[in-house]
């Protein structure tokens, strides 16, 4: 009996020792009974890759392809691109109270600190800039929606690009709101609070 215990005891000890020393990889889980279950034959995103000369697994999309949901912006970041966008780009959203309310919500988050709540260029940050933003209802009164879109996309002067923060839809909705600041009283008033709640449910 003693011998049997000794035999199984040492067999177990040896197995554990072998299993724990089986690999020097610190990421290894140790002995694996069915490695196929753990290890996928595909390359991990950030691992190196012998199939490519630059050994990078993360490949860029093939040239000429467009990612789903991504809309290329064809207007270049220069004066003629600005003029062209200003003439061509049209807001796909109608100036309904709901759209304006959605735009106001984003404006309050992304723009108020520079442009001010009423678009006078007197936001807490904007007022401190060497060149504060011009007022929407004065210097920017006749700025077209396309030019606005272009400037939000690339930024202008002391205003940075908002391309990564705002989707095309969000920018257009904000522009609908900015137009109410360009022409106070000339556009439908921002929607009452209940349509804002609707938006919250959606998101």
Q: Which residues bind ligand HEC (CB under 6 A)?
A: 110-111, 114-115, 125-126, 129, 131, 133-134, 140, 143, 147-148, 151-152, 156-159, 162, 174, 178
Cβ-proximal residue to ligand HEC, closest one: 157
- Distance in Å, CB of 72 to ligand HEC, minimum: 21
- What's the closest the beta carbon of residue 194 comes to ligand HEC, in angstroms? 25
Collect all residues with Cβ–Cβ distance below 8 Å to 187 and sequence separation of at least 6: 95, 100, 179, 180
Instruction: Let me know how long the chain is.
Output: 203
Which residue lies nearer to ligand HEC by CB, 133 or 190?
Answer: 133
The number of angstroms, rounded, from the C-alpha of 99 to the middle of its chain's C-alpha atoms is 21
Q: How far is the CB of 188 from ligand HEC (least distance, A)?
A: 18
Q: How far is the CB of 69 from ligand HEC (least distance, A)?
A: 20
Burial of 123 (0-12, 13-18, 19+ CB in 10 A): buried
Residue 42 or 142 with smaller CB distance to ligand HEC: 142
Q: How far apart are CA 158 and CA 70, in angstroms?
A: 27
CB of 77 to ligand HEC, least distance (A): 12
Q: Which is nearer to ligand HEC, 114 or 120 (CB)?
A: 114
Of the candidates 109, 123, 111, 103, which has an alpha carbon nearest to the alpha carbon of residue 189? 103
Nearer to ligand HEC, 175 or 191 (CB): 175
Q: What are the tokens at 185?
A: 């009283």
Toward ligand HEC, which CB reaches closer, 32 or 187? 187
Please name which of 64, 78, 103 lies closest in space to residue 195, comparing C-alpha atoms.
Answer: 103
Asked if residue 167 lies in contact with residue 86, where contact means CB atoms within 8 angstroms, the answer is no
Six-digit token string for 36: 């196929």
φ, ψ at 94 (rounded to 5°): -75, 155
Q: How far is the CB of 130 from ligand HEC (least distance, A)?
A: 9
29 or 130: CB nearest ligand HEC: 130
């Amino acid at each position: 009996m003693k011998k049997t215990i000794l035999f199984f005891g040492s067999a177990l000890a040896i197995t554990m020792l072998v299993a724990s020393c089986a690999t020097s990889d610190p990421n290894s889980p140790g002995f694996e009974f069915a490695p196929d279950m753990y290890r996928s034959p595909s390359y991990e995103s950030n691992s190196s890759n012998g199939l490519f000369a630059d050994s990078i697994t993360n490949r860029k999309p093939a040239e000429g392809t467009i990612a789903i949901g991504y809309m290329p912006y064809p207007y270049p970041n220069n004066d003629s691109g600005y003029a062209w966008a200003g003439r061509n780009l049209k807001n796909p959203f109608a100036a309904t109270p709901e759209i304006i309310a959605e735009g106001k919500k984003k404006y309050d988050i992304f723009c108020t600190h520079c442009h001010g709540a009423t678009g006078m260029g007197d936001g807490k940050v904007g007022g401190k800039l060497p060149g504060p933003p011009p007022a929407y209802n004065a210097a920017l009164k006749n700025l077209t929606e396309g030019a606005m879109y272009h400037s939000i996309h690339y930024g202008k002067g002391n205003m940075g690009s908002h391309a990564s923060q705002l989707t095309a839809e969000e920018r257009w909705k904000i522009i609908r709101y900015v137009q109410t600041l360009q022409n106070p009283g000339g556009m439908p008033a921002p929607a009452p609070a209940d349509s804002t709640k609707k938006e919250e449910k959606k998101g």
